[in-house]
Structure 1
Amino acid sequence: MRQPPGAPLAHLDQLADTAALGVTLPDGRAAFLVRVHGRVSAFENRCSHRGVPLEAEPHRFLEAGGELIQCAMHGALFLPESGECVFGPCQGRRLVAIPISVDAEGQVHLAME
């Protein structure tokens, strides 16, 4: 479901301590939020190698250990802090980061530019 401009993308309650959540940005782009070690980041849901969605199942963006983002197509691994590919055919490239902010109530919003 596309989010209206200004609407929160999600609430921190929707992200467990180590989790990810697929969202649709107000402009219609597929994206996801990832929370690892309490830090929340957002990226376009598109692998930097083939441009395909990263997850094979809804909201499954992390590898089994819950520490790295993983592309389901070819197993590339990305750092959740920066989106940098650290393993796989796109090593050295990055996912497209989405600037976000978290307000005092725990709502995750697109960051104001």
Structure 2
Amino acid sequence: MSALMIAHSSQLEDSGALGVTLPDGRAAFVVRVHGRSSAFENRCPHQGIGLEDKPDTFLEDGNELIQCRMHGALFLPESGECVFGPCLGRSLTPVPVSVDSEGNVYLARE
């Protein structure tokens, strides 16, 4: 299994997010909250639409939870589980990533 660099931690604030396009063309985003990075497909489980209304706006105003700007659904950044909104109990589709000691965020390729 090889890995492909998709972002660098310097592109994210301590709590931030960055939209990316995966090699297969799917829209995704990398999110970093409290120094932990994870990634998900940019598709709300409620209606299958993208989460942001402006580029890289994947977090709610407190920068603690991922938010769908269409209906206000809130998701845990660690797991993608919806904890509020019309898709309560469902989850975002995770994208496996890892971060090396230099802050490079890699996508694990199958």
TM band (smaller chain): over 0.9
Q: Which runs of 5+ in 2 are unaligned?
A: none
The equivalent residue for 2:70 is: 73
What residue ranges of structure 1 are gaps of 5+ in the alignment?
Answer: none
Residue 14 (structure 2) aligned to one of 17, 21, 32:
17
Alignment of 1:57-96 (within 5 A): 57-96=54-93
TM-score normalised by L of structure 1: 0.92
Q: Normalised by the size of structure 2, how large is the TM-score? A: 0.94
Aligned to 2:94: 97
Q: What is the percentage of aligned positions where both structures have the same residue?
A: 70
Q: Which has the higher contact order (CA 8 A, sep 6+)?
A: 2
CA-to-aligned-CA distance 1:40-98 (integer Å, 9 cap, x gap): 00000000100000000000000001000000000000000000000001000000000
Distance 2:76 2:55 in 1: 20
Aligned to 1:35: 32
Find the counterpart in structure 2 of residue 111 from structure 1.
108
How far, CA to CA, are the matches of 2:3 and 2:92 in structure 1? 24
CA RMSD of aligned residues (A): 1.3
Q: What SS class does the counterpart of residue 38 from structure 2 fall into?
A: strand
